[in-house]
Copies of this chain bind each other. A is one copy, B any other.
Amino acid sequence: MSQHRYLLREDQIPTNWYNIAADLPVPMPPPLAPDGSPLQPEMMTPIFPMELIMQEVSQDRWISIPDPVREVYALWRPTPLHRAINFEKVLGTNCKIFYKYEGVSPAGSHKPNTSIPQAYYNAQAGVKRLATETGAGQWGSSLSLACQLFGLECKVYMVRVSYDAKPYRRVMIETWGSEVVASPSNDTNAGRTILAANPSSTGSLGIAISEAVEDAATREDTNYALGSVLNHVLLHQTVVGQEAVEQMKMAGASPDVVVGCVGGGSNFAGLAFPFLAEKFAGADIKVIAAEPASCPSLTQGVYGYDFGDTAGMTPLLPMHSLGHSFVPPSIHSGGLRYHGMAPLVSHLVHTGLVEARAYQQRECFAQAVAFGRAEGIIPAPEASHAIRAVVDEVERARQEGVSRNILFNLCGHGNFDMAAYASYLSGEMVDSAYSQDELDRATAELAGMPALPA
C-alpha cells in the first residue's frame, strides 16, 4: 500500500517556537511609532501583554511553548502531512507533491496555532476580554474558541462582506461564545467615521483592525489580538513547519519547493520559516508565496513603512503595502484581502529569499476542485492559491525534465466556503481586478511615510 500520510506522536508536538529573526542573513528594519519615532516595547502595553511584546521583539532562536498551550494543541496537533498521490496522477507528473494539512484543527485552519497562545498569555496577565478583527472568519472563530478555553470574553469585528456572505462562520464564533459584529460598525469611532463617509462600505481587514485596536485601547479590561502580520503571530505558526520538517524526513524526501498562500503571511510563514532555516544553512530550497491578483501586496505593492490598519492607529510597519486605505475588490478568499504583508515575509521577499506570485481566483478554484476530487479534501479558497502555484511548479519541472519534491500548506478546508464553490461550478464566478486608480491613490499616500533605513 502506498504511504499517504505521515503522522507524528503527541509527544512530538514541538516544545519551542522557531524565531526566524535570530537567523536572518540581513536584519529587518524596526517598526516605528505612529509618529515615526522609534517604537518602544512599553508603547504596546495598552493592547498586548508583556509576554507577547517580548516575543515580538525577541532575537532568541527558540521560544519555549508553555505546557498549557501544548495541552490545547494536542486537541488536534500534530497535524498530518499527506502525499498527494491521487493529485499527482491527475496532473500526470513524476514530481512528488506533499501537503501539510492544517484543516484538522477545530476551526478548520491554522489559526488556532496562535489564538491559543495569545489567549493563554492574556489570561495569564489578568486580561478579561479580547477584541479582534476577522476577514473570512477563520481567525475570529479560532480566537473565540481560544477565549472560551481560557475563560476570556471576546468581541469580533467581522469584515462586512464576509459577515453577510459567511453567516455560518458567524454562528461558529457565537457557538464558541463570542460576540460578533459587522465592520465597519457603529461601536467605534473608526467604524462610525467610515460609515459616515460610505454607509454601504463592505469593509476591509484594515478597517476592522482599526475598530478592534480602538476597542482594546479604550477599555481597561480589554486587549487586542491579531491573527497574522506581526512577528509573534508568525512565530506561533512555526509549529507547522517544524512538524513538516520531521514528517518530510519520515517520507525520505527533502523539499525542493515550499509553497504557501499569503494574505497577512502567517500560514506561509508557519510552514516556510523552519525550511528557510535550512536554506540559510545552505539547502537548495525554492520558497514561494502565492497571493491573490486582486490584492497583490507583494507583487504590486510598495516596500516601505505603512500603517497596519486603515485609521492609522497601529505602529508603522516595514512591509509591502498597497496603501493602508486601499480597499480590495470582493473575492472569495476573504482571508487574503489585506492591504499589507507581514514585515518578516516582506523582508524575505525584498532580500530575494522568497519568490512571490499572484493568481486570479478562477484559476485557483479550478485547481481546488481538481484537488478536492482527487484527494477528497475541499480546500479553503485561500489555500487554492498555493495549489495553483504548485501546478505551476509541476509544469516547470515537466519543461525542465526533472522531478521535484514540492511541499505546500493546505492551511484550511472549504467547508464554510461552499457558496464560493457553487459560484465557481455554476460559471458565475468572475476574476475581480483591483482598480488601478484606487491603487495609485492609496500608494500615493505612502510617499509621506518615513524612509526605510539604508
Residues of A within 8 A of B (CB): 1-5, 7, 9-11, 67, 70-72, 74-76, 82, 86, 104, 106, 108, 112, 145, 148-149, 167-168, 171-172, 174-177, 369, 372-373, 375-378, 415-416, 418-419, 421-422, 425
Pick from B10, B176, B372: contact of A373, CB below 8 A.
B176
Given contacts A7-B7, A7-B10, A149-B376, 9 further A-B contacts (CB under 8 A): A4-B71, A4-B75, A5-B75, A75-B377, A171-B421, A175-B369, A175-B373, A175-B418, A176-B373
Residues of B within 8 A of A419 (CB): 168, 171
The complex places the Cα of A4 from the Cα of B73 at a distance, in Å, of 10
With CB as the reference atom, state the residue of chain B lying closest to A368.
B175
With CB as the reference atom, state the residue of chain B lying closest to A106.
B376
The complex places the Cα of A416 from the Cα of B108 at a distance, in Å, of 12
Q: Give the copy number.
A: 2
Q: How far is the CB of A85 from chain B (nearest CB, A)?
A: 8
Q: How far is the CB of A364 from chain B (nearest CB, A)?
A: 14
Query: When A174-B425, A422-B174 are in contact, do A108 and B71 touch as well, CB less than 8 Å?
Result: no
Residues of B within 8 A of A369 (CB): 175
Pick from B5, B86, B422: contact of A171, CB below 8 A.
B422
Residues of B within 8 A of A71 (CB): 1-2, 4
The complex places the Cα of A70 from the Cα of B3 at a distance, in Å, of 11
Pick from B3, B82, B149, B176: contact of A86, CB below 8 A.
B149
Query: When A5-B10, A171-B418 are in contact, do A104 and B106 touch as well, CB less than 8 Å?
Result: no
The complex places the Cα of A72 from the Cα of B2 at a distance, in Å, of 10
The complex places the Cα of A421 from the Cα of B104 at a distance, in Å, of 21
Are B418 and A172 interface neighbours, CB within 8 A? yes
Q: How far is the CB of A451 from chain B (nearest CB, A)?
A: 46
Are A67 and B1 interface neighbours, CB within 8 A? yes
